[in-house]
């Protein structure tokens, strides 16, 4: 208490301590409030790293189209913050991808990075992400190596290879054949997919007749298709990176005269490829987390907005980009727009739950990979138009937390 002596105010030791504490709090608030305000009102800088050139360029373009459609819908604001997008091309080259990641973090000062379609790129930047503690939301690469890492500031909003391969391999065994041939592109992602199909299929009781690996630079698949024909399989499972690779493989498959049932990974045949693949795509089966025919209000709006912007139909890669922005938006809403505290940002991201284009979305809090529906799809024709039919749904598919389940 202040006591007046001779018209002056005398401050006791206790009063000074209390006043000092109050002043310290006030000073801290005066300093932190503008800092927090600045952090939540300044533009949010997002680095988008993806493949925008070379044979796999279309996958990066489709992904980025999805990003732009979401930002258009929210007036380029996430949780009220204006968004600044910095875009870099990894050229499907691991070394270039690592250089671009370093640039985002060390020179551009981005708040977080998203994108990365190629699993080879994701693996190339992994150690740097750990060391630099960069915040990374992978919106493509499916390699299971990311599933079983424990990186606090790394999440994946797309899928894991296991998540699609395990239920589909079992479905193929139950519904199609007890023996299959595997054909895959020869790089990290392709090897991942082949391994997950093989292990799940063999565990079910099936037999892999042969595994065939194709360089990512190949444009003429005829030697490999000739080998497949000589094996006379009932079912062939193929992994292509999507886009030009998938289009060429299916076109040449149709010309090969192979009578087997053709199956593939998500994006192998979909709304963006089937017109060029033509009738060879009819009857092809795939497992995916998204088709443009999903009957929900959010997806119908997305399909319409995407077509209006690009004059194309959206596909899996488009969903990847859109959902990545949705994840960031929902995360920032939980942090009042603040992306400066990575621990709080990671905690908020781990807890997001929402209705995505593909269906219900949430993260596995251990693996930071989504728990989501997997759709078994078949390409069909109706009234002269091709479309993707969902013939079975596996709900809430969750990748195991460790390599051995």
Domain CATH number, residue 358: 3.40.50.2300
94 occurs within a structural domain:
yes
Q: Give me the pLDDT at residue 37, please.
A: 54
Residue 116 and residue 184 in one domain: no
Residue 73 and residue 152 in one domain: yes
Residue 258 and residue 169 in one domain: yes
402 occurs within a structural domain:
no
82 occurs within a structural domain:
yes
Only one residue has tokens 């018209």, namely 7
Angle in degrees, CA 132, 136, 138, rounded to 5: 140
127 occurs within a structural domain:
yes
Residue 222 and residue 85 in one domain: no
Residue 169 CB contacts under 8 Å (≥ 6 apart), including other chains: 196, 197, 200, 201, 204, 206
Q: Give me the pLDDT at residue 362, please.
A: 98
Residue 186 and residue 139 in one domain: no
Residue 247 and residue 389 in one domain: yes
Between the CA atoms of 292, 297, 301 and 303, what dihedral angle is there, to the nearest 10 degrees?
Answer: 0
Positions of E strands within 186-254:
207-214, 235-239
- Rounded to whole angstroms, the Cα distance separating 172 from 150 reads 32
283 occurs within a structural domain:
yes
Residue 245 and residue 381 in one domain: yes
Residue 381 and residue 234 in one domain: yes
403 occurs within a structural domain:
no
30 occurs within a structural domain:
yes
Q: What pTM does this model have?
A: 0.85
Q: Give me the pLDDT at residue 405, please.
A: 61
Helix (DSSP H) and strand (DSSP E) numbers for the chain: 13, 17
3-state helix, strand, coil in the chain (%, to 5): 45, 25, 30
- Rounded to whole angstroms, the Cα distance separating 158 from 384 reads 32
Residue 389 and residue 245 in one domain: yes
Q: What is the pLDDT along the chain (405 residues), one digit of tens a residue?
A: 333 222 333 333 334 443 444 444 444 454 455 545 555 678 999 999 999 999 889 999 999 999 999 999 999 999 999 999 999 999 999 999 999 999 999 999 999 999 999 999 999 999 999 999 999 999 999 988 898 888 999 999 999 999 999 999 999 999 999 999 999 999 888 998 999 999 999 999 999 999 999 998 999 999 999 999 999 999 999 998 777 889 999 999 999 999 999 999 988 888 888 889 999 999 999 999 999 999 999 999 999 999 999 999 999 999 999 999 999 999 999 999 999 999 999 999 999 999 999 999 999 999 999 999 999 999 999 988 888 999 999 999 999 887 766
Residue 90 and residue 235 in one domain: no
Residue 79 and residue 145 in one domain: yes
404 occurs within a structural domain:
no
Residue 98 and residue 230 in one domain: no
Residue 266 CB contacts under 8 Å (≥ 6 apart), including other chains: 159, 164, 286, 287, 288, 289, 290, 316
Q: How many domains does the chain have?
A: 3
Residue 36: domain span: 3-41
């Amino acid at each position: 208490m202040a006591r007046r002596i001779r018209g002056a105010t005398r401050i006791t030791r206790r009063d000074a301590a209390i006043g000092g504490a109050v002043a310290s709090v006030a000073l801290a608030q005066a300093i932190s409030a503008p800092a927090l305000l600045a952090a939540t009102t300044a533009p949010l800088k997002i680095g988008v790293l993806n493949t925008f050139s070379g044979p796999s360029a279309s996958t990066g373009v489709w992904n980025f189209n999805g990003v732009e459609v979401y930002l258009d819908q929210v007036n380029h604001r996430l949780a009220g913050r204006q968004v600044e997008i910095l875009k870099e091309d990894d050229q499907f080259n691991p070394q270039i991808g690592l250089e671009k990641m370093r640039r985002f973090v060390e020179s551009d000062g981005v708040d977080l990075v998203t994108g990365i379609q190629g699993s080879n790129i994701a693996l190339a930047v992994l150690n740097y992400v750990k060391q630099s503690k960069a915040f990374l939301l992978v919106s493509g690469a499916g390699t299971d190596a990311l599933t079983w890492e424990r990186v606090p500031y790394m999440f994946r909003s797309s899928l894991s290879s296991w998540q699609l391969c395990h239920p589909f391999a079992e479905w193929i065994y139950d519904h199609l054949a007890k023996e299959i041939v595997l054909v895959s592109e020869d790089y990290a992602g392709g090897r991942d997919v082949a391994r997950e199909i093989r292990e799940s299929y063999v565990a079910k009781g099936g037999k892999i007749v042969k595994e065939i690996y194709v360089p990512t630079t190949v444009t003429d698949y005829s030697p490999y298709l000739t080998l497949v024909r000589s094996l006379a399989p009932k079912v062939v499972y193929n992994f292509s990176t999507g886009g030009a690779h998938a289009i060429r493989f299916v076109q040449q498959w149709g010309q090969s005269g192979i009578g087997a049932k053709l199956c593939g990974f998500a994006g192998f045949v979909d709304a963006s490829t089937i017109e060029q693949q033509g009738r060879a795509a009819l009857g092809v089966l795939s497992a995916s987390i998204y088709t443009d025919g999903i009957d929900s209000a959010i997806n119908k709006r997305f399909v319409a907005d995407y077509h209006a912007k690009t004059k194309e139909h959206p596909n899996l890669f488009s969903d990847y980009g859109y959902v990545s922005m949705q994840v960031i938006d929902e995360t920032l809403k939980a942090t009042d727009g603040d992306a400066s505290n990575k621990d709080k940002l990671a905690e908020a991201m781990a807890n997001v739950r929402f209705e995505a284009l593909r269906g219900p979305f949430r993260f596995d809090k251990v693996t930071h990979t989504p728990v989501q529906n997997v759709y078994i799809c078949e390409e069909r024709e109706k009234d002269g138009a091709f479309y993707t039919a969902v013939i079975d749904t596996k709900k809430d598919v969750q990748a195991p937390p460790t390599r051995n389940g």
